[in-house]
Amino acid sequence: NAAIQHLMQEDNKLTITIQRKDKQELPQTLGGLISFVDNNDVKGRFFSNIKIDYRESSAIKPTYTDPIYWQLIITICLAFVGGVLLNFMPCVLPVLSIKILSIVNESNKTINQQKAASYTFGVLITFSSLAIILIVLKALGREIGWGFQLQSPVFVNILLYLMFAIGLNLSGVFSIGDAITALGDKWTKDKGMIGAFFTGMLATIVATPCTAPFMASAIGYALTQSNLVTLLIFLALAFGFSSPFLIITFIPSLEKVIPKPGAWMTTFKQLMAFPMYGASAWLLWIMAHQIEPIKLGFPLSGLILIAFAAWLSGQATEKQENSLVSRIGILIIMLLALILAIASGNNTEKESDQFITNSASERYSPAKLLTAKSARIPIFINYTAAWCITCKINELTVLSDETVQRTLREKGVLYLKADWTSADPTITRSIESFKRVGIPLYVLYDREGNYRILPQLLRKKTFINTIKSL
């Protein structure tokens, strides 16, 4: 029930007061999951077939001293901090090169501030759009979560083209700005503002595979509240995400950290192309987990077409032959690449892979979870995806470690891996049951069926000690 829930504890009795949605007959017994926070750990307890003492009550009017308002304020603050930390997550690093280049490319303080404001506006628009999409899909009954768009091979393919094209642009294969610069200084400045706006949009899009600390609980809370609260929390995320760029450009004392423009910038610009190529390789690797191997020819052929279109654009600019024929030719090539992107995701039914092969994990299923809980077996669930870089780092540095694997075996822990690379309603519902909407998510059950949610950034020593404490 997404309405406000009022809890009151008296001795050994817990009373929960919730809003009644309709006048249908209420069940005599109740079952479900109660989650609570104990020493900063999220824990829970399952219950079933409990007889309920229903009592009708008048409508509850919460006041501004009600805990629900403080919870909202705290969640907004956590969302802001999570947005700040999102800048330092691995999936955002490729786009940071564009942000850095934008700052050092301009020594004029006013223009940098305008770019920062434009970048922030792009971030706000994109985060708001994501919030609205999530709200609409939820209203339509769709089961989705944070980063859901990367479960679509077509979206991943288009993002792959975009990253690759940006890399080619930074490498000097073609330049969007040359023709605009010739029109005068005003157009150049406008182009800078527009460029900063779209950089903000791109940064937000590539940030969605990551869930920074504090973000998971904030987004999970947001999607269970009213549409207005959901939008407010997403805007707090957006302001947090864009705040470092704003702070650097608007606080005079921080101007010293911005290098002065010079000849070194050409080399720096070309160097920043390689994170984009790395991001392209990563996106292609994601597609390898989403589509059949034979269909990988579509995105690979599309990359060749994108490179060809970029080369033609560079040649036309160099020879100052920006004719209608060349522009139509480039447009046709890009349309062909788009058709290949759509074809790559057509009728995709491939099952997600278990891509860490040296870990003794089993594929997650609700049946396995229930069977293990009935047998009083401790369980560790790893909710992961190929597009979640933080998940991959945790798996490579911690979960696939031999000492960790040995500890899991010695304690008799069943290791289940829930692969969310492609859309899976079962896994989505499981994630939502913990009031989360994104990954990484790590859940550890003890033999009594009680669970705790582990940190999103795993540490080997801490993880081993946690397993040993079972």
Q: Please give the torsion angle defined by the CA atoms of residues 280, 281, 283 and 288, in that order, rounded to the nearest 10 degrees.
A: 150
Measured N-to-C along each axis, helices 297-318 and 324-344 cross at an angle, to the nearest 10 degrees, of: 170
Q: Hey, which residues does 47 pair with through a beta bridge?
A: 32
For the chain, domain boundaries = 6-51, 67-344, 362-468
Q: CA 188 to CA 37: how far, in whole Å?
A: 53
**DSSP at 88:** T
Q: Which of 122, 105, 128 is nearest to 197 (CA)?
A: 122
pLDDT of residue 186: 40
pLDDT of residue 289: 86
**Cβ 279 vs Cβ 91: under 8 Å:** no
- Taking CA atoms, 323 is separated from 100, 165, 173, 326, 377, in Å, by 34, 21, 18, 5, 70
- Answering whether pTM is above 0.85, one says no
pLDDT of residue 236: 92
| CA 209 to chain CA centroid, nearest Å | 3
CATH of 362-468, one of 3.40.50.300, 3.40.30.10, 1.10.10.10, 3.10.20.30: 3.40.30.10
Residue 63 CB contacts under 8 Å (≥ 6 apart), including other chains: none
pLDDT of residue 130: 84
- Taking CA atoms, 452 is separated from 38, 84, 405, 446, in Å, by 9, 26, 19, 9
**Cβ 406 vs Cβ 181: under 8 Å:** no
* Average pLDDT per consecutive 10 residues, the chain (470 residues; last block may be shorter): 55 63 62 62 66 54 52 83 79 65 68 84 90 77 64 86 85 64 38 76 74 65 75 90 84 68 72 84 88 88 91 80 75 88 69 51 90 92 88 89 92 93 86 83 92 90 92
Q: CA 420 to CA 386: how far, in whole Å?
A: 8
Residue 440 preceded by cis peptide, ω within 30: yes
End-to-end CA distance of the chain: give it in Å, rounded.
32
pLDDT of residue 358: 47
Q: What single-letter amino acid sits at 248?
A: I
Q: CA 359 to CA 395: how far, in whole Å?
A: 9
Q: CA 36 to CA 201: how far, in whole Å?
A: 36
pLDDT of residue 357: 45
